[in-house]
Amino acid sequence: MAREAPQPAFRAYSVVKREGQDDYWLPIGAAFPHQDGTGYNVILQALPISNGEGHCKIVLRPPKSEDEAASRNERKPQRRR
């Protein structure tokens, strides 16, 4: 019997500051709990770049439920091409 793929406990983001606009939360990975519950493995698909002061910050947030994500996408205005 195949094991079910573990779900991430957190999503990893790099927050990009944009002058005159809202910050952009760039998804860069996820954090999965250890089997014994005493830590996390952080898997990154990208690395954040440092700001002008040499700081690099990764923000971990719980993943949104599918219902919450779907309702958020419905409220999003469509961009013109």
pLDDT tens series, the chain, 81 aa: 677 778 999 999 999 888 999 999 999 999 999 999 999 999 999 999 887 788 888 999 999 876 554 444 444 444 443
Neighbours of 8 (CB within 10 A): 18
Report if pTM > 0.85.
Answer: no
Residues with Cβ < 8 Å from 24, sequence gap 6 or more?
15, 16, 18
Sheet holding 10-16, edge to edge: 40-44, 24-33, 10-16, 59-61
Q: Which amino acid is at 33?
A: P
